Amino acid sequence: MSMMNFHLQLPHKQAILFDGKLMKLMGRGRDKHRSMIFMGDDGIPETLTDAEFIEFQTVRRLELLTEAEVEELEAEPRKLPRITLQTCSEKDADEAMRRYAYCLAWEKAGEVARTAKRIYPITVSVAAELEEKCPNARTVLRWIRWWVMSGRNINALIPQYENMGNTTDKLHPKAREILSGIVDEYYLVDTRPSGISVHKHVKKAFREYNAPLPMDARLKVPSLDAVYREIDRLDSYTKDFCRLGKRAAHHKWRAVGSGPVAEQHNEAWEIDHTRIDTVVTDEILGLVVYRPWVTVILDRHSRVVVGFFVSFEAPGLYPVIQALRNAIAPKDELMAKNPTLTVSWPCFGPPRLLVTDQGREFKSRSFREICLQLGIDVQHSPILKPWYKGRIERFFRTLTRNVFQRVPGTTFSNVFERNAEIPPESVAVCSLDELRFHILQWITEVYHRTSHRTLGDTPLNLWNRSVAKHGMLPPPNPARLEEVLTLIDERVPQRQGIQYEGLFYNNPELALFRSRADRPRTVKIAPIWDDLTRIRWMDPEDGKWRDAPILKAQRHLVEGRTLEMHKLARALMRDNEEIGDDLIQAYTYLDNAMKAKSGASGKANRVKAAKYRDAINRRFEQTQQAPVVDVEASGQSFADFIDQGETIPNAEEPAAADGFGIAAPADADGAPLDGNLTVHIGDD
């Protein structure tokens, strides 16, 4: 690297870690390069030019440090590792989120002066929103200082109670067992007894236990403070659920708030799922797999679609993670895979706020941790208030009318809009990949470039103006994004190991973990989507991921299989009695379907399907009108044929046509193109 001057702006006393040595910036020299002078505790100076500083930082010999990291290095060695978001309890994670709400409110307020007088109004406002007692302003200032010193890392707000003082239990194990049982039995009831009342039951239980024992073997009765400490170990939701009822607990502890107002791009996103009104075929199996799901993320300010994901997977954490990955990362690679699209999709993240519904996937701890690590605040829309995220609800209506109901095999959202004599399953010729392309093409070429009635301009123009005015934050590093956007689940380790999707994973490390006295009941697991021969699990002692291989007896079942194929096989087992619990037979059906699809008849069917699709598209281009509906023929439901045991109309009957006068596709012998197996992925 040439000896050029970059004019780096570093504050005085800026700390660095240079070759493992802690040093601080003392000033600049008077040489022609105005070299920076760093000094360590040994008093030996180190001079670095701007170019050398950049070079050493690139090869990772030099690292910039925050104030919190300097304090961590200068402090005495910790007896226990610092608790992080990955190793903390759910109660501590909730407390960190509560503190984070105050820090985020201070940031949104323009980072006002950190004094008790200036921070007090912000504290009162956040406390009212969280429906809790207002904390002391100096306490909030301390949280903000920790947060800023750590480089605005959420881990700085996690309580370190477990690392403070003597953490050994003062009670005898048997005494702790009796105390916990009494608290569960007499405190978590709807009569709402006090701690003093529970303490009376504790004393009675210990008297009965100590009566037959000699004096030197008797247990000391826990104090009233010990009873209250045991009560405090219970999470607030459990206490309110058992003592106040389900409705009161949900009302008190759910996240609420008014509809957020977005004044610029990436300030607030809305995310939701919907069932697609189109019957599609599986690209691998060649079978009709019915209606897929789509997860969409919409920018609240500009109305542009920042990301989406389509699959047969029912609403859950996996589609959410895939949609977030598509939304946050740049779209250049995605658009390059579709060379027929000549437009750009310049939208990426991350956002400040994500608005969701009350789905359990959005309330899971894994989703909450993902958002915290990406610096994303989350707001759940109140129950029975769809206007809270009405923009994406309205977008789904537009997407359905312009894409889903124009694809062969549409079911329509209303039974009276389709011809019941031609069931959609018999004309489904669109695969999942083709449907993804149709959605991508419509979003980038049509929706983003169509004037929005409310905005008065196109969504893409509004996005570009906001970017020109406010700038664009860079996306997270791909490695960091891949690490954070990982599907995390929890399992209870058993003697057979960890069970996931009917498979068992075990090794000596996992058995050793189960034998620990202080181990948690559950462990976090991360399935590997393209390799089912192993699974990752996190050791809570050091927060590191470890691999556990599949049992040898099941290894031959999953070698070369993906998790998606495994779920398809399990779906076949559920929906087809002739397969039963035989996973090998289910995989055999899948393999045979793949081989049949690659044969001559399969290729012929694909040609017929392509011709059918072209005819449909030409018809749409000519008319640009809704399908012609035969109301009388549509009066009888498709399910009625099954109930009455009648033959379902298909291509064998003369002129068995859809609403466009085109006969349903059939093979060379006149048999309808339909699969022999039923596959249902997720809920109907």
Q: What one-character-per-residue DSSP string does 223-265 give?
A: PHHHHHHHHHTS-HHHHHHHHT-HHHHHHHHS---PPP---ST
Same domain for 281 and 384: yes
- Say if 636 falls within a structural domain: no
pLDDT for 592 beyond 70: no
| Least confident segment among 66-80, 118-132, 350-364, 624-638 | 624-638
Per DSSP, the three-state class of 290 is strand
Same domain? For 407 and 467 the reply is: yes
**Which residues have CB under 8 Å from 6's CB, separation 6+?**
50, 51, 53, 54
CA distance 66 to 54: 18
- Which range among 262-271, 413-422, 586-595 shows the weakest confidence by mean pLDDT? 413-422
Locate all alpha helices (DSSP H) within 154-235, ordered by sequence.
173-186, 195-210, 224-232
Instruction: Pick the more confident residue, 193 or 590.
Output: 193
Residues 439 and 508 in one domain: no
- State how far the Cα of 308 lies from the Cα of 404, in Å rounded to an integer: 15
Flag whether 579 is in a domain. Answer: no
CB burial readout 4-24, b (16+ within 10 A) else e: eeeeeeeeeebbbbbeeebbb
pLDDT(617) > 60: no
pLDDT recorded at residue 660: 33
Domain carrying residue 49: 15-65
pLDDT at 459 over 60: yes
Task: Give the confidence band of 104 by pLDDT, cuts at 50, 70, 90.
Answer: very high
What is the value of pTM for the model shown?
0.45
Domain match, 425 and 300 both: yes
Residue of 623, 613, 296, 317 whose CA lies nearest to 436: 296
Asked if residue 679 is part of any domain, the answer here is: no
Q: How many domains are contained in the chain?
A: 5
Stretch 330-340: mean pLDDT, rounded?
Answer: 88
What is the structure's pLDDT at 292? Answer: 81
Q: Are residues 277 and 406 in the same domain?
A: yes
For 328, phi and psi rounded to 5 degrees?
-80, -40
End-to-end CA distance of the chain: 61
Half-sphere exposure of 94 (CA within 13 A, CB side): 12
- When mean pLDDT is compared across 186-195, 215-224, 480-489, 550-559, the lowest value belongs to 480-489
pLDDT confidence bin for 88, thresholds 50/70/90: confident
* Token pair belonging to 54: 């950049």
pLDDT band at 645 (very low <50, low <70, confident <90, very high): very low
What is the pLDDT confidence band of residue 657, given thresholds at 50, 70 and 90? Answer: very low
3-state secondary structure of 34: coil
Q: Do 325 and 474 fall within a single domain? A: yes
Q: Are 315 and 295 in contact (CB under 8 A)?
A: yes
Give the pLDDT confidence score for residue 629 in this predicted structure.
39
Torsion sign, CA atoms 439, 440, 444, 446: negative
What was the pLDDT predicted at 454? 78
Q: How far apart are CA 103 and CA 97, in angstroms?
A: 10
Predicted local distance difference test score (pLDDT) of residue 411: 47
Q: What gap in Å lies between CA 230 and CA 473, rounded to an integer? A: 46
Q: Is residue 594 part of a domain?
A: no
Confidence of residue 407 (pLDDT cuts 50, 70, 90): low
- Closest CA relative to residue 410, chosen from 604, 629, 672: 629
Q: Count the Cβ atoms, other than its own, within 10 Å of residue 413.
A: 14
Residue 575: closest CA among 677, 430, 435: 677
pLDDT tier at 285 (50, 70, 90 boundaries)?
A: low
Half-sphere exposure of 208 (CA within 13 A, CB side): 7
| Residue 34 in tokens | 């105005």
Q: Which of 428, 463, 482 is the last residue of a domain?
A: 482
pLDDT of amino acid 70: 80
Q: Which carries the bigger pLDDT value, residue 566 or residue 59? A: 59
Print the SS3 string covering 48-112: ECHHHHHHHHHCCCEEECCHHHHHHHHCCCCCCCCCCCCCCCHHHHHHHHHHHHHHHHHHHCCCC
Structure tokens given for 245: 């009822």
Say if 593 falls within a structural domain: no
Determine the average pLDDT of the residues in 217-233.
Answer: 90
Query: Same structural domain for residues 274 and 388?
Result: yes
Domain boundary among 162, 181, 196: 162
Is 8 contained in some domain?
no
Question: By C-alpha distance, which of 432, 431, 411, 430 is closest to 420?
Answer: 411
Instruction: Report the Cα 334 to chain-centroid distance in Å.
Output: 21
Residue bearing tokens 């501590």: 92
Which of 39-43, 262-266, 668-672 is least confident? 668-672
CATH code at position 199? 1.10.10
Higher pLDDT: 454 or 326? It is 326
pLDDT of residue 669: 47
Same domain, 151 and 191: no
**Mean pLDDT for the chain overall:** 76
**Angle of CA points 134, 136, 137, to nearest 5°:** 105
665 is a domain residue:
no
For residues 512 and 363, state if they share a domain. no
Contact by Cβ (8 Å): 108, 144:
no
What is the C-alpha to C-alpha distance for residues 165 and 156, in angstroms, rounded to an integer?
19
Q: Which pLDDT band, with edges at 50, 70 and 90, does 668 fall under? A: very low
Give me the mean pLDDT over the 223-240 stretch: 88
Better-scored residue on pLDDT, 607 or 388 = 388
Predicted pLDDT at 9: 82
Q: Could you report the per-residue pLDDT of 478-523, keeping only the tens digit for each? A: 878 877 887 777 888 888 888 888 888 988 888 888 888 778 888 8
How far is it, in rounded angstroms, from Cα 274 to Cα 278? Answer: 12
Is residue 205 assigned to a domain? yes
pLDDT at 599: 39
Mark which of 564, 585, 608 sits at the end of a domain. Answer: 564
Region of poorest pLDDT, from 89-93, 402-406, 563-567: 402-406
Strands 353-356 and 268-275: parallel
Mean pLDDT of 380-387: 69
The verdict on 339 and 397 lying in the same domain is: yes
Q: What is the pLDDT of residue 11?
A: 84
Is residue 387 domain-shared with residue 444, that is, in the same domain?
yes
Q: Specify whether 245 is located in the same domain as 278.
A: no
What are the two backbone dihedrals, phi and then psi, of residue 297, each rounded to the nearest 5 degrees? Answer: -120, 125
Q: How large is the C-alpha radius of gyration of the chain? A: 31
Picking from 342, 346, 340, the residue whose alpha carbon sits closest to that of residue 327 is 346
Question: CB atoms < 10 A from the CB of 470, how many?
Answer: 13
Identify the pLDDT of residue 289.
Answer: 54
